[in-house]
Amino acid sequence: GVIEYWCDEHNVKILVKENPQQDELVADIKAVVAKEENKKRIERILRSKDLCFNSGRHIAKPPLGYYYDKSSKPSVLKKSKDISIIKNIFDKRLENKGYLKIAKELNFVSKNGKLTPIMIRNILRNPFYCGYVIYKGKILKGIHEPVIKIEEFCKINNVSGLDDLTKDNDKI
């Protein structure tokens, strides 16, 4: 297992006798090795997320209207059949309709349940839909196909540009 590999790699020999104190020592050594392995695993995951983000990839559950096409490696985000609902939400907001009115007019039920005004607001504030990804307060052009133009997104959210998105998180 991991412990034997680590011990071999670091030229560590553990002698075990039938002794309760040594059993405790072995358990402590195993705990230390497991803790170190966990730290390395977390570092690998964070490095992987950074690499994905820096290449313009979305690194979380796909937003409503998209799905991961796992037939390609690496998997790619593609528009789903629900994308027309997302486009309608943005179009209705450009017509100056409020969140509640949009939710009532669409009367759409997603896998997460019925669209609520708060869900509508969150969709409208998500820069993913205009082609960008955000991670750790940074924003980059994504590799996925956007639903709306950046100008429309900025108009809907009353921001002048992408810099406003990361400066004032209350706007998104």
Q: What pLDDT does residue 123 have?
A: 94
Is 129:149 a contact under the CB 8 Å cutoff? no
Is 33:3 a contact under the CB 8 Å cutoff? yes
pLDDT band at 27 (very low <50, low <70, confident <90, very high): confident
Both tokens of 84, joined, read: 């027309």
Higher per-residue pLDDT: 17 or 109: 109
Q: What pLDDT does residue 134 have?
A: 87
Tens digit of each residue's pLDDT (9 = 90 or more) over 80-136 = 888 999 999 999 999 999 999 998 888 776 666 788 899 999 999 999 999 999 888
C-alpha to C-alpha distance for 144 and 118, rounded to whole angstroms: 24
Q: What pLDDT does residue 171 have?
A: 43
Q: What pLDDT does residue 18 have?
A: 64
pTM: 0.70
Both tokens of 102, joined, read: 């949009």
pLDDT band at 170 (very low <50, low <70, confident <90, very high): very low
pLDDT at 150 over 80: yes
pLDDT band at 169 (very low <50, low <70, confident <90, very high): very low
C-alpha to C-alpha distance for 24 and 17, rounded to whole angstroms: 11
Q: What pLDDT does residue 15 have?
A: 61
Q: Calculate Rg over the CA atoms of the chain.
A: 24
Q: What pLDDT does residue 73 have?
A: 76
